[in-house]
Amino acid sequence: MTRLALIAHDEKKADLIDFVREHETRLGECSLVGTGTTGKRITEETSLTVERMASGPLGGDMMIGAEVAKEALDGVIFLRDPLRAQPHEPDITALLRICDVHDTPLATNLASAAYLIEGV
């Protein structure tokens, strides 16, 4: 089964929820992992189940990075806010690096996220 990680900066969480709703059928065929708050919101606002890691500020993004390093993820969707990211939010740099090292697709916007879920 395809295993995907879902992460979003605070200002992008609503966009990710809308994306998940739009693609709920396809994502329902996947095993989903998320950071704490993002995973909680997806679980509460859709019919999908998300395995929740710690919240981003508590290392959830690093936990997802560890899953990439173990080659336990088929892709990552990290909707980041390039203009207003807050200091407490996860930094994409380390996650981007580990995805590149392990040749794991990483989508950072809605267009690339749509391509990612269609491709896996």
Which residues are identified as catalytic?
61
**9 annotated ligand-binding residue:** yes
**23 annotated ligand-binding residue:** no
**CB-based burial of residue 90 (10 Å sphere; 0-12 exposed, 13-18 middle, 19+ buried)?**
buried
**37 annotated ligand-binding residue:** yes
**28 annotated ligand-binding residue:** no
Which pair of structure tokens corresponds to residue 73? Answer: 């993820």
* Nearest-angstrom CA–CA distance, 26 and 2: 10
**36 annotated ligand-binding residue:** yes
**70 annotated ligand-binding residue:** no
**47 annotated ligand-binding residue:** no
Type of residue found at 103: D
* Nearest-angstrom CA–CA distance, 52 and 50: 6
Q: Is the dihedral of CA 72, 75, 79, 83 positive or negative?
A: positive
Under a CB-based contact definition with an 8 Å cutoff, are residues 107 and 6 in contact?
no
Sequence ranges of the binding site for substrate: 9, 13, 35-38, 55-56, 88
Sequence ranges of the binding site: 9, 13, 35-38, 55-56, 88
